[in-house]
Amino acid sequence: MHPAVRSRATIRTGPAPVPQPRTRRIRSLIDADALRVLHRAARVLLDELPDLTDRLLTTLREQEPAYRTALENDYTATWQEAHRSLRHSVASLLDPRGTREAAHRCTWRIGVNRAEQGLPLDALLHAYRVGGSLVWQRLVEETSRSAPEDVRLLVHVATDVWNFVDEHCSLVADAYRQAERQLAWRRENRVRLLAAALLDGTSRIADLPETAEGLALPEHGRYAVVAVACGRPPGPAGVRAAAVPAGTRAYWHSGVEVDYGIVLVGDEGDGADDQDPAEALDLPADGTAGGRVGVGSAVSGLAAVGDARRLADLALGICPPGGGTVRLTEHLPAALLVSCPELGTTLTEQVLGPLLRLEPADRDVLLDTLTAWFACDGSAQRAGEQLYCHRNTVLNRLRRCEQLTGRSLARPADVVEIGLALTARRVLRG
C-alpha cells in the first residue's frame, strides 16, 4: 500500500487497540467460571431452602437464648421469617440487581419487627451471620459433591457473598435502631399522656396498672404532688433537684409554666396518714433562687393524684413572687382564701375597707402595724421592736384600727376576721 494511503487509513480508523495483558484475560475467564460454579450451586440451594431453614433454626436454638424463646413462642412465624431471608440471600447470588430491592425490603421488615418484639439486636445480627455461614457452607458442600475440581473457583466469589452478608447486617441494624427510637418516643409520649391524665384527674381506673408501670411507681402508695415554677436561673432542673432530694421516687411531668412532681412519700396503710409530705421530702423552707415550690397534702393511691395536684396548685398560689417553698399543711387558711378568691376579696373589703381608703402613707403604717402584731402573737412589745417604735405607739395604732374597722382585737371572732382579711390581701394581691 502507498504510504499516503496507509497514513489516511490510520487517521480514519484511529490507533490500533492495545492488546490486553494475558493475566487480565485469564482473570476474566476465572471470574466467569467462578460465577458459573456459584450459580449452579445456588440453584440447588433454592430447592433445599426448607432444609437450610431448619438447619439455621437448629443452630440458633442452640446458640441464641433469645431465638430459643422466639421459637417457643411462635415457631411458625420465626421459621417463615428465616425462610424468606434465606430465599432472598440465595436469589441474590443468581441475580444481584434484580433481587436487590426485594431483599432490602425483607431485611428492613425483619429489623423493624424484631425491634418491636424486643429481640436483642446482637442476637439478630448473629442470626444473619449464621445464615450467611450456612449458605456459604452449603455452596461449598454442593460444589464438592457435584464438581470437586471447581471448589477452588468459589474463592473468587467469596468476597461478594460476605459483602452481601455485611450489607444486610448494616441494613437490619439501621432498621432496628430506627424502629427502636420510634418505639421509645411512643412509649415516652404514652407515659406523658398517662401522667397528664393522672394529674388532671381524668385517668381511667383501667389505665392505672399501665400508668404505674410507666411511671415506675406503685399503684397503691402515699403520694404528694410538688408544683415547681421557675422564674430565673438556675432553671427548672435546679429547682427540681432542690424540691425533691436525691433517692426519692418521683416522676416529673413538664408543663408550660409549671412542672409537677408525683412523689412517693410512703406506703399505703403504713399509719402515716397524718405525715406531712414536706417532712418526708425534707424540703428547704426557702426553696431555690428564683423558684417557687408548692407542696400539697398527701393522698392515698395513684388514683387520687389529681386531688394532690390541685392541692399543690393551691400551695403554689400562696408562694411569694420572689420564690420559696410553701407547704399546704402550714397555710390552710390562706389556701382556703386562694381556693375561693371572690370570697377573699369580699372579706378584705368588708373588714379592711376603711383602712384601705386612707392616704397611702397612713394606710401602710396601720396595715404594717396590724401585720406585725399578728406575726408577734399579739405582743405589742415585740411588734414595736420589729417596727422600731415604742409599744405605746403600737397600741395607739391598734386602737385606731379598731375604731376604723369597728372590730375589737380583744374579741376572738373579730381577730379571726382581721387575720383572714390580712392574709387575703397578701395572697390575692397579684
Q: Do the beta carbons of residue 258 and residue 292 sit within 8 Å?
A: no
Whole-number Cα distances in Å, 392 to 155, 213, 410:
110, 64, 17
* Cα distance from N-terminal residue to C-terminal residue, the chain: 113
Q: Do the beta carbons of residue 82 and residue 56 sit within 8 Å?
A: yes
pLDDT tens readout for residues 137-155: 999 999 999 999 999 998 8
Q: Do the beta carbons of residue 24 and residue 98 sit within 8 Å?
A: no
Whole-number Cα distances in Å, 113 to 53, 109, 126, 167:
19, 6, 16, 19
Walk along the chain (430 residues) and give the pLDDT tens digit of each residue: 444 434 433 434 444 444 444 444 444 555 788 889 999 999 999 999 999 999 999 999 999 999 999 999 999 999 999 999 999 999 999 998 999 999 999 999 999 999 999 999 999 999 999 999 999 999 999 999 999 999 999 888 888 889 999 999 999 999 999 999 999 999 999 999 999 999 999 999 999 999 999 999 999 989 999 998 875 444 445 555 555 656 678 899 988 889 999 999 887 655 444 455 555 555 555 555 567 888 988 899 999 999 999 999 988 888 877 788 888 888 888 888 888 888 888 988 999 999 999 999 999 999 999 999 998 989 999 999 999 999 999 999 999 999 999 999 989 999 998 988 988 888 887 5
pTM of structure? 0.63
Spatial distance between the Cα atoms of 33 and 36, rounded to a whole number of angstroms: 5
Would you call 357 helix, strand, or coil by DSSP? coil
DSSP-assigned beta bridge partners for residue 228: 259, 293
Spatial distance between the Cα atoms of 239 and 390, rounded to a whole number of angstroms: 42
Identify the burial level of 85 via C-beta atoms within 10 angstroms of its C-beta, where 0-12 means exposed, 13-18 middle and 19 or more buried: buried
pLDDT tens readout for residues 180-230: 999 999 999 999 999 999 999 999 999 999 999 999 999 998 999 999 887
Give residue 188's pLDDT: 93
Buried b (16+ CB within 10 A) or exposed e, 40-73: ebbebbeeebeebbebbbebbbeebebbeebbee
Give residue 12's pLDDT: 42
Give residue 271's pLDDT: 47
Spatial distance between the Cα atoms of 243 and 284, rounded to a whole number of angstroms: 8
